[in-house]
Amino acid sequence: MVIDHPIFLESIKFIRSHLEVNDLNYLEKKVLERLVHTSGDFSVQNLIDFSEGACEKGLRALKNGSPILTDTDMAAAAIKSMSENTTRNKVFTAKMWFRKNNHTKLTKTAYGLSEGWKELSSINSGNKSPIVVIGSSPTALTYLIDILENAKDLPSLIIGMPVGFIGVEKSKNKLISTDLPRIVLNSTRGGAAMAAAAVNALLRETI
């Protein structure tokens, strides 16, 4: 059960009253509110990009027990707390597959995330396909998209919010160019906390 602190509720009320008029649906607004709250920055509302039905697909997957695969321990830690208080979806990190890395052309995170995806998707398909959360590594996002081009199983949702300057915007644009269900934070902005906040916003809606 999630019990909100009065200060959090007051913050969300403040955020709602100061957001620009938009055409986002209910779930998209919930995600946006959490991102603004996490960042303390209203400019986020001009950077967020949702594919059609992305939030609904993500919410349905969470309710069905889909595992959540992240690129960092930091994102995983932020999600686990909310998951334990809601649907108890299992949370995995790319680090769990680092030890198997013999692929010298890939970063450890790109390799770990791709191997994690392959393993988790093989045992969780259809309406329980994994949700992938990327808040740090643009190489992991880019490589994931590459391997999904010829894949039979696809993620229920991809949170594409890597942060930084080298390859970050390119990786996000690559995701946006696909038909994959996604929530993307455009520009160089992002990070583990932001990516986790997007998932947590959907987890809150499962109760």
Q: 57 is in which domain, residue-wise?
A: 6-204
CA distance 140 to 121: 16
How do strand 182-185 and strand 48-50 relate by DSSP bridges? antiparallel
Nearest by Cα to 106 from 74, 130, 133, 137:
137
Task: Quote the pLDDT of residue 99.
Answer: 81
Q: pLDDT, tens digit, for every residue of 52-83?
A: 999 999 999 999 999 999 999 999 999 999 99
pLDDT computed for residue 148 by the predictor: 97
Whether 97 maps to a domain, the answer reads yes
Asked whether residue 179 is assigned to any structural domain, the reply reads yes
* Backbone φ/ψ region at 187: left (φ over 0), alpha (ψ -120 to 50), beta: left
Residue matched to tokens 């992991």: 140
Strand 91-93 and strand 131-134: the pairing is unpaired
pLDDT at 1 over 70: no
Q: Is the pLDDT of residue 141 over 90?
A: yes
Does a structural domain hold residue 187? yes
Percent of the chain with pLDDT over 70: 97
Residue 1 lies in a domain: no
Please give the tally of structural domains in the chain. Answer: 1
Question: CB–CB of 107/38 below 8 Å?
Answer: no
**Is 106 among the domain residues?**
yes
**8 Å CB contact between 161 and 75:** no
- Which range has the worst mean pLDDT, 4-8, 44-48, 103-107, 194-198? 103-107
Average pLDDT of the residues in 175-190 = 98
Task: Output the six-digit token pair for 70.
Answer: 């992240």
With beta carbons less than 8 A apart as the criterion, state whether 26 and 55 touch. no
- Position with higher pLDDT, 24 vs 102: 24
Question: Does 4 score more than 90 pLDDT?
Answer: no
Confidence band of 103 (pLDDT split at 50, 70, 90): low
pLDDT confidence of residue 123: 96
205 Cβ contact list (under 8 Å, min separation 6) = 27, 30, 59
Domain at 163, CATH number? 3.40.50.10230
pLDDT digits (tens, 9 = 90+) for 147-178: 999 899 999 999 999 999 999 999 999 999 99
Residue 6 has pLDDT above 80, yes or no: yes
Q: Is the pLDDT at 205 greater than 70, yes or no?
A: yes
Q: Strand, helix or coil at 131?
A: strand
**Residue 94 falls inside a structural domain:** yes
Query: What average pLDDT does the structure give for the chain?
Result: 95
- How is the chain split among helix, strand and coil, in percent rounded to 5? 55, 10, 35
